Amino acid sequence: MHVLFMAPNFPANQRQFVRALHAVGARVTGIGDVPPDHLDAELKGWLHGYEHIPSLADEGALTNAVRRVQKREWVDRLECTVEAIMLPTARVREATGIPGLSVEKVLLCRDKFIMKQYLREHGIPCARNAAVDTAEDARRFVNSVGYPVVVKPRDGAGAAGTYKCDDDAGLEAALAANDLGNARRFITIEEFVSGHEGFYDTLTCNGEVVFEAVSHYYPNVLDAMRNRWISPYIITTNRIDVSGYDELKAMGRKVVRELGLGTTPTHMEWFFGPKGLTFSEIGARPPGVRFWDLYCWANDMDLYVEWARALTLGQARPRPSHTYSAGLISLRPSQDGRITGYTGLDDVHARYGRWLGEVHLPAIGQRTADVGAGYMGHGWMHVRHPDYDECRQMLDYIGETVKIWAA
């Protein structure tokens, strides 16, 4: 099978999809926005070919690149695992007659307004929401629903551009941040759902969920991305088979089924609180921040290869061991500026060295990133442990102990 794969070199774990396709015998032609001499030797060794275009979001350039390859040889699939370029990829896929996720399916998994309207009609509990093109639209929605509300891009990912508004002042600030007062924008507004936040991820093969995982945010994402003093973490549980997750797994599988997703990774956000279990959003892609790497590490498996087998062979048989719960903790600098040093690392390594995985620490002298840069935008650590509660305690201790100092 010949697979065209978008952005094979960035983000960092993109190369793992290429590796996995190569491992199952597929020919992989990469399409990227960096010149071929910027690719390292290992990645080049997995690639059958490479097409360089100026921008991955340029549908015209992408279409031309795909057609150049099609003139040379048959193309079976055009695959994309990066949220920001899934829609142009789907449009080019349809224009060039290559199987895969349609524009309609990608829009259902990208546009948060359309997504929730569709799923609400199919019996999935969702927050009330509205498409907002003007500031007046937003104010009318608040008058009918009340505060608090959340303003977010309709096609955003993570917490980027997302604001919780508790009053008129907060709403006006969010509208200004999204430039809604000066132009028509592509955003949504919805009632704020309180409760614990997490995500449910799957790998589907021919519409069947062949792998699933449940993960939790501590604290919720908006709090984590707005407060420097917090060392937030995400943890995936190895207790997925306990009855407390049955409702979540049933809802997640129904979402996948109602959206008609065939062979694809999925990433679904959810809340559980006073109103019960509520759907938040879904993407037809893997989770961000290299979380598939944690799934592999926690479950003694290669999920990338299972994805490649599902894509190329139409079958996948992941056998997660559920040996460990595993987490990613983000470590923020004390202030903006340049990194001056670290404390607490020796203590953490002495206590938990056997349970630590990858550790990333910005170099001394490196300029700090903005507080909202994301879970891997600063320092971070991977941690795993056979007991979920012990894993959480370790993550809490690391967050309290390890300090990144800046000046």
pLDDT in tens, 144-162: 999 999 998 876 655 667 8
Q: What is the pTM of this model?
A: 0.91
Which helix or strand (DSSP H or E) is residue 390 part of? Answer: helix 388-401
Pick the residue with more confidence: 154 or 290? 290
Helix then strand count (H, E) for the chain reads: 14, 18
Which helix or strand (DSSP H or E) is residue 264 part of? Answer: strand 264-273
Q: Find residue 404's DSSP bridge partners.
A: 333, 342
Average pLDDT over residues 309-318: 96
| pLDDT confidence tier of residue 106, bands split at 50, 70 and 90 | very high
- pLDDT for 47-102, tens place per residue? 999 999 999 999 999 999 999 999 999 999 999 999 999 999 999 999 999 999 99
Task: Determine the Cα–Cα distance for residues 277 and 295; give it in Å rounded to an integer.
Answer: 24
Task: Write the DSSP symbol of residue 240.
Answer: T
Which of 121, 197, 125, 115 has its CA nearest to residue 153? Answer: 115
| Domain 2-100 shares a fold with domain 196-406 | no
- pLDDT for 186-224, tens place per residue? 788 999 888 999 999 999 999 999 999 999 999 999 889
Instruction: For the chain, give the percent of residues with pLDDT over 70.
Output: 97
- pLDDT for 216-246, tens place per residue? 999 999 889 888 899 999 999 999 999 999 9
**pLDDT in the model for residue 152:** 84
Q: How far apart are the first and last CA of the chain?
A: 53
Average pLDDT over residues 34-49: 97
Task: Determine the Cα–Cα distance for residues 286 and 298; give it in Å rounded to an integer.
Answer: 16
Give the tokens for residue 201: 């991820």
Pick the residue with more confidence: 382 or 172? 382
The CATH superfamily of 128-191 is ATP-grasp fold, A domain (3.30.1490.20)
Give the tokens for residue 197: 């936040």
* Domain at 196-406, CATH from 3.30.470.20, 3.40.50.720, 3.40.50.150, 3.40.640.10: 3.30.470.20
Q: Is the pLDDT of residue 179 over 80?
A: no
**pLDDT in the model for residue 159:** 60
Instruction: For the chain, give the percent of residues with pLDDT over 90.
Output: 85
**pLDDT in the model for residue 18:** 98
Which of 124, 93, 120 has its CA nearest to residue 106? Answer: 93
Average pLDDT over residues 243-263: 97
Task: Determine the Cα–Cα distance for residues 192 and 152; give it in Å rounded to an integer.
Answer: 11
Task: Write the DSSP symbol of residue 207.
Answer: T
Domain spans in the chain, listed from the N-terminal domain onward: 2-100, 128-191, 196-406
Give the tokens for residue 138: 């937003």
**pLDDT in the model for residue 371:** 87
Q: Is the pLDDT of residue 184 over 70?
A: no
> For 2-100, CATH number?
3.40.50.20
Average pLDDT over residues 320-341: 97
**pLDDT in the model for residue 222:** 86
Give the tokens for residue 11: 């983000």
- pLDDT for 110-128, tens place per residue? 988 899 999 999 999 998 8
3-state secondary structure 102-126: CHHHHHHCCCHHHHHHHHHHCCCCE
Task: Write the DSSP symbol of residue 38.
Answer: G
**pLDDT in the model for residue 155:** 65
**pLDDT in the model for residue 158:** 55
Map residue 28 onto helix, strand or coil: strand
Give the tokens for residue 150: 């959340």
Q: Find residue 363's DSSP bridge partners.
A: none
Sequence-ordered list of residues with C-beta below 8 angstroms from that of 364, at least 6 positions apart, any chain: 339, 340, 341
